[in-house]
């Protein structure tokens, strides 16, 4: 566990292993999604961001 990079008072377990910082659920976003990242396959941040984007697109489509 660590503290969100944008919210020093919020504890979170979502960690960017490439840049070595934590993000809370509100802040979750990959720092550079266009660039290759060797941690991506196991990155919760990237996964959740992708899920959120997919849900948004589904809502927009219906
Ligand atoms: Zn935050």
Per-residue pLDDT of the chain (62 residues; tens, 9 = 90+): 999 999 999 999 999 999 999 999 999 999 998 999 999 999 999 999 999 889 999 988 76
Query: What pLDDT score was predicted for residue 24?
Result: 95
Rounded CA-CA distance 27/23 in Å is: 6
Please tell me whether the overall predicted TM-score, pTM, comes out greater than 0.85 for this model.
no
CA of 35 to the centre of ligand 1 (A): 22
Helix (H, G, I), strand (E, B) or coil at 31: coil
Rounded CA-CA distance 28/14 in Å is: 8
Query: What pLDDT score was predicted for residue 44?
Result: 94
Contact 28, 10 (CB under 8 A): no
Query: What pLDDT score was predicted for residue 61?
Result: 75
Enclosing domain of residue 49: 2-61
Contact 18, 39 (CB under 8 A): yes
Query: What pLDDT score was predicted for residue 62?
Result: 65
Residue list, CB under 5 A from ion ligand 1: 4, 6-7, 24, 26-27
Question: Where is 2: in which H helix or E strand?
Answer: strand 2-3
CA of 46 to the centre of ligand 1 (A): 15
Query: Number of folded domains in the chain?
Result: 1
């Amino acid at each position: 566990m660590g503290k969100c990079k944008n919210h020093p008072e919020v504890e979170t377990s979502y960690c960017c292993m490439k840049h070595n910082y934590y993000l809370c659920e509100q802040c979750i976003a990959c720092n550079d999604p266009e660039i290759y990242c060797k941690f991506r396959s196991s990155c919760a941040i990237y996964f959740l961001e992708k899920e959120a984007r997919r849900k948004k697109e589904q809502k927009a489509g219906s």
